Structure 1
Amino acid sequence: MSNETSTKTASKEVGKEVRKKDATSIIIIGGVKGGLGKSIIGGVAAFQMKAAKLPFELVDADADTPNVGLTYEKELYEQFRNERLAQSSATLVPGDNDLPLEQVEQITFSGEAGNYFAADKIITIAEQKNVLVVLPALPACDLDRWLDQNDIVGMLADPENTTDAIHFFVTNGTPESLGLFKDSVESSKGKIPHVLVLNHGAATNIQWKWFDRDKQIAKYLEQYGFKSIVFPEMIVDPAIKNKIFSEYIPYGDVLKADWLPTPSKRRLNKWLREATQALGSTGYIPYHPDYLP
Structure 2
Amino acid sequence: MAAIHFVDGEKGGVGKSLFARVMVQYCIDNKLSYELVEADQSNPDVGAFYPDNHKIAVFSESERKAYDADEIFNLALTTSVIVNLPAQVYPAVTDWIERNQILEITGKNKVKIYKWFVCSGGYDSVQLFIQSLERFENKIKHIFVRNCGLCDDWKHVDGRKDLQDLIKAYKVAVINFPKFSYRERDILDANQINFSAARDYGELGVLGKQRLHSFLKKASEEIDQAKIWNLPAASITSPTEKVDDANVNGKVATKK
Aligning the two structures, in what range does the TM-score lie when normalised by the shorter sequence?
0.7 to 0.9
Where in structure 2 are the equivalents of 1:1-293 lying within 5 Å?
23-72=1-50, 74-75=51-52, 106-156=56-106, 158=107, 160-202=108-150, 208-236=154-182, 238=183, 240-285=184-229, 290-291=238-239
Where do 5+ consecutive residues of structure 2 fail to align? 241-256
Q: CA deviation at 1:163?
A: 0.6
Deviations along 1:113-167, one digit per CA (max 9) or x if unpaired, are 33331101111111111111010112422222122122233235x4x43211000
**When the two structures are superposed, what TM-score results if normalisation uses the length of structure 2?**
0.84
Please give the alpha-carbon distance, in whole angstroms, between the structure 1 residues aligned to 2:109 and 2:73: 12
Equivalent residue letter for 1:255: R
Where do 5+ consecutive residues of structure 1 fail to align? 1-22, 78-104
Q: CA deviation at 1:206?
A: 7.3
Structure whose alpha-carbon radius of gyration is higher: 1
Q: CA deviation at 1:267?
A: 0.9
Please give the alpha-carbon distance, in whole angstroms, between the structure 2 residues aligned to 1:143 and 1:210: 29
Equivalent residue letter for 1:228: V
DSSP-derived class of the 1:58 partner: strand
Runs of 4+ residues deviating >6 angstroms: none
Distance verdict in 2 for CA 1:269–1:143, change over 3 Å: same
Q: CA deviation at 1:110?
A: 4.2
Equivalent residue letter for 1:192: I
| Counterpart in the other structure of 2:251 | none
How much is the aligned-residue C-alpha RMSD, in angstroms?
Answer: 2.3
DSSP-derived class of the 1:62 partner: coil
CA contact (8 A) 1:168 1:194 kept: yes
> Could you tell me the percent identity over the aligned residues?
27
DSSP-derived class of the 1:27 partner: strand
Deviations along 1:184-212, one digit per CA (max 9) or x if unpaired, are 0111233211001001123xx77734312
Higher relative contact order (CA 8 A, sep 6+): 2
Q: CA deviation at 1:255?
A: 1.0
Please give the alpha-carbon distance, in whole angstroms, between the structure 2 residues aligned to 1:176 and 1:209: 16
CA contact (8 A) 1:167 1:195 kept: yes
| Counterpart in the other structure of 2:254 | none
Deviations along 1:169-226, one digit per CA (max 9) or x if unpaired, are 1111222111111110111233211001001123xx7773431221121111111111
DSSP-derived class of the 2:68 partner: helix
Give the length in aligned residue pairs. Answer: 237
Equivalent residue letter for 1:130: S
Please give the alpha-carbon distance, in whole angstroms, between the structure 2 residues aligned to 1:117 and 1:46: 25
Q: CA deviation at 1:269?
A: 0.7
Deviations along 1:67-97, one digit per CA (max 9) or x if unpaired, are 211112x1366xxxxxxxxxxxxxxxxxxxx
